[in-house]
Amino acid sequence: MRLQPSRAAIVLAACLIPLSAAAGKKKKGPPPPPPVGWHRPAEAGWSLDCYHPPEWAKLTEIERREARAKALDEIVKQWRGTRNDGITFEEGRIDDAETIVLGRPAVIEGVVQANFDQCAAVAGGKAQPDVWASWLKALPGKLTEGECLTPWDFTMFDYLDINTGWQRTMPICKGNKVRVSGTVKDKYRLTEKGAWITVEGDKSKPTVGGEYPCNQEGCHEGQLLLRFVSTGGVESVLPIEGGQLIFTAPEHGEISFRINDTSFFDNAWFKNGSIEDHTAIEISPVE
């Protein structure tokens, strides 16, 4: 005799089947929050860590300020090479960028995000570090575009350093006219047995072409030079003839000076007894 299942048993079995099937499936939870701080996604095959910015809009105002300061401090460490990950940028460019950003706290968030994009491109092999360095170099100009930070209405005195490259980088505004001069009585030489010269350079050794920073007509070895770099990153190098040059800035930018040389290890000032020469540099406004 075949027994028929009761109606109640059929209903109970129907209820248990979907419950058993559902028990084998795990519910998906919310996705993990995006990383904040130094992180290198393993699945992406990055070659270095990059600093991930927080979700700024989700922070309180106090948290946001603290996060800005921390993020800027961390990315500057990487720029300076302290993370030992192969990234090191020019100190002067780092100082310029940091100064501009610190004066404009509201732009830090955008800078940190843009820096992350640059880092990610390098870490992922899509760009070289020099592209990142170029972005950093142009950053002050982009952040201050259209601004004039320091109208040249003062006189700057300094001494020429013949043992280093470009020195005393200073901002200058479009239209500012300045006189750049170096004392022509002070002497130095570029090799151990070389001729004693002044800021006028060695007239017997023109440097047209080659690896000298000034390699155009009118440039000589050891001569005093002026460099202008526009906010857009365009660079011009000018020889200072006769120890003096009057320069008008074609746009906002910065100026610096050095001698026209390719190495500095054996450069030396002239000495007469205990007195050593030192070329004085003056940059003053021209009315």
172-216: pLDDT as tens digits: 999 999 999 999 999 999 999 999 999 999 999 999 888 999 999
Which amino acid is present at 199? V
- Over residues 256-270, the pLDDT tens digits come to 999 999 999 999 999
Range of the domain at 163: 156-285
Examine residue 3 and state whether it is found in any structural domain, yes or no. no
Where among 143, 171, 206 does a domain terminate?
143
CATH number of residue 235's parent domain: 2.60.120.430
Count the domains in the chain.
2
Closest CA to 227 of 200, 250, 257: 257
Asked if 245 and 181 sit in the same domain, the reply is: yes
- pTM here is 0.55
Asked if 136 and 173 sit in the same domain, the reply is: no
Q: Is the CB of residue 128 less than 8 Å from the CB of residue 154?
A: no
Q: Is the CB of residue 14 less than 8 Å from the CB of residue 5?
A: no
Asked if 117 and 190 sit in the same domain, the reply is: no
Asked if 106 and 192 sit in the same domain, the reply is: no
- Over residues 222-255, the pLDDT tens digits come to 999 999 998 878 999 999 999 999 999 999 889 9
Q: Is the CB of residue 188 less than 8 Å from the CB of residue 222?
A: yes
Asked if 160 and 139 sit in the same domain, the reply is: no
Asked if 126 and 64 sit in the same domain, the reply is: yes
Where among 143, 171, 205 does a domain terminate?
143
Alpha-carbon span 225 to 237, nearest angstrom: 7
Examine residue 29 and state whether it is found in any structural domain, yes or no. no
Examine residue 278 and state whether it is found in any structural domain, yes or no. yes
Examine residue 4 and state whether it is found in any structural domain, yes or no. no
Examine residue 12 and state whether it is found in any structural domain, yes or no. no
Binning the chain into helix, strand and coil, the percentages to the nearest 5 are 30, 25, 45
Asked if 111 and 214 sit in the same domain, the reply is: no
Q: Specify the pLDDT at position 12.
A: 47
Please count the other Cβ atoms lying within 10 Å of the Cβ belonging to residue 86: 10
pLDDT band at 5 (very low <50, low <70, confident <90, very high): low
Asked if 222 and 120 sit in the same domain, the reply is: no
Asked if 123 and 209 sit in the same domain, the reply is: no
| 119 pLDDT higher than 80 | yes
Examine residue 106 and state whether it is found in any structural domain, yes or no. yes
Examine residue 194 and state whether it is found in any structural domain, yes or no. yes
Asked if 72 and 131 sit in the same domain, the reply is: yes
Asked if 203 and 230 sit in the same domain, the reply is: yes
Examine residue 208 and state whether it is found in any structural domain, yes or no. yes
Where among 82, 108, 143 does a domain terminate?
143
Mean pLDDT of the chain: 88
Asked if 123 and 194 sit in the same domain, the reply is: no
